[in-house]
Amino acid sequence: MNKLLKYTFMLLCCFLLMGCLPLDKETDKKSIVCTTYAQYNWLQEIIGENNSTFELTLLIKDGADLHSYQPTIQDLAKVSSADLFVYVGGESDQWVSDALKEAKNKNMLVVDMMDVLKERIKEEEHVEGMKEDHDENEDESEYDEHVWLSLINAHEVVRYLSNEVQKLDDVHKKTYEENTIRYLNDIDDLNHQYEQVVENATTKTLLFADRFPFRYLLDDYDLNYYAAFPGCSADIEASFYTITFLANKIDQLDLKSIFVIDQTNLKIAQTVKDNTQKKNQKIMYLDSLQSVDDQKIKDGYSYLKAMKYNLKVLKKAL
């Protein structure tokens, strides 16, 4: 509650100050503002390179994480004047509703990805062995925000975003349609490759000694999992029970791999490995696209490259 009050106070201050700040230099371009990298890259593919109609902005950058992001006054100003604003729509985006109420552009098109995907949205779940968040007052269900990690979801959202872009610029409608069809074919082709890898797999269970943001991806291909924490957990310390459970599960299923989503924090994975009988498992990294730094983008990082990397890792593990 203290965190919520602190954030609400900050947001009110931002709106009070926003009127005193100079906005970005006037431009004839229409503004598209995205919160996270996946949607930003999807829109890059839809509008194409060297597009002269749109100015595309990514808010959560420099390696910042969706779950800990707090908008700056400049970020709120960009959202306020956007022609199209795209956000995930989960618990981490609680700041958005107040930002939109204060928006200067009342004709703004707004895309809530979780609302677009409402038929496919899943509640965060606690599987056996996972450390519980002991909050007696937590009665409401929390929905899994990591919708972009499903290629099936990506297909649906890209198609929806393309329609919104065409509403803002019907002059180049044909170009956007062609770009979208090409990109959707790439997404569908990669989805088919995932299906083939899983069909030929000898193992159908993955074990994460970390948070678990991959529920949408694994559910798409009927894969099972065990994990130390749920997807959006802030925990960094696993209980003795969780460590022991995961190590025993590796022994029971004879798993050859332990997965992490953070390449810098291997402490839990190494502890689980040390408590197995064989102690010979490979610790493997899967990219959740939650924290993408600017240098990676400059070096050619993309949504499809990240998902192709994940497929390569899964093929080795399965």
Mean pLDDT of 123-137: 68
Reply yes or no on whether the pLDDT at 19 is more than 60: no
Q: Which residue has the higher pLDDT, 9 or 269?
A: 269
Q: How far apart are CA 42 and CA 162, in angstroms?
A: 9
Backbone angles phi, psi at 143, to 5 degrees: -95, 145
Give the model's pLDDT for residue 100: 95
| Nearest to 312, CA basis, from 285, 293, 280 | 285
User: Rounded CA gap, 75 and 289, in Å?
Assistant: 21
- Is residue 9 predicted with pLDDT exceeding 60? no
Q: Is the pLDDT of residue 203 over 50?
A: yes
Question: For residue 13, how many other CB atoms are within 10 A of its CB?
Answer: 11
Top pLDDT among 59 and 128 is at 59
Both tokens assigned to 180: 């979208």
Could you give the CA distance from residue 292 to residue 306 in angstroms, rounded to a whole number? 11
Confidence of residue 21 (pLDDT cuts 50, 70, 90): very low
Q: Which of 245, 288, 282 is nearest to 126 (CA)?
A: 245
**pLDDT tens digits along 104-117:** 999 999 999 999 99
Q: What is the phi/psi pair of residue 317, to 5°?
A: -75, -35
Report the alpha-carbon distance of residue 55 to residue 50 in Å, rounded: 10
Structure-token pair, residue 83: 């022609």
**Would the pLDDT of 173 be above 60?**
yes
Asked if pLDDT for residue 140 goes beyond 70, the answer is no
At residue 38, the pLDDT reads 98
Q: Which two tokens stand for residue 211?
A: 């948070």
Provide the whole-model pTM: 0.89
Mean pLDDT of the chain: 89
More confident residue, 218 or 233: 218
Give the model's pLDDT for residue 65: 83
Q: What is the pLDDT of residue 96?
A: 96
Give the separation between CA 149 and CA 152, rounded to whole angstroms: 9
> Where on the phi/psi map is residue 197: left (φ > 0), alpha (ψ -120 to 50), or beta?
alpha
When pLDDT is cut at 50, 70 and 90, the band that residue 142 belongs to is confident
**Cβ distance 228 to 160 under 8 Å?**
no
Give the pLDDT mean for 195-209.
96
pLDDT at 314 over 80: yes
Q: Which of 280, 229, 281, 286 is closest to 258 using CA atoms?
A: 281
- Kindly report which listed range (77-86, 153-162, 224-233) carries the lowest average pLDDT score: 224-233
pLDDT over threshold 50, residue 218: yes
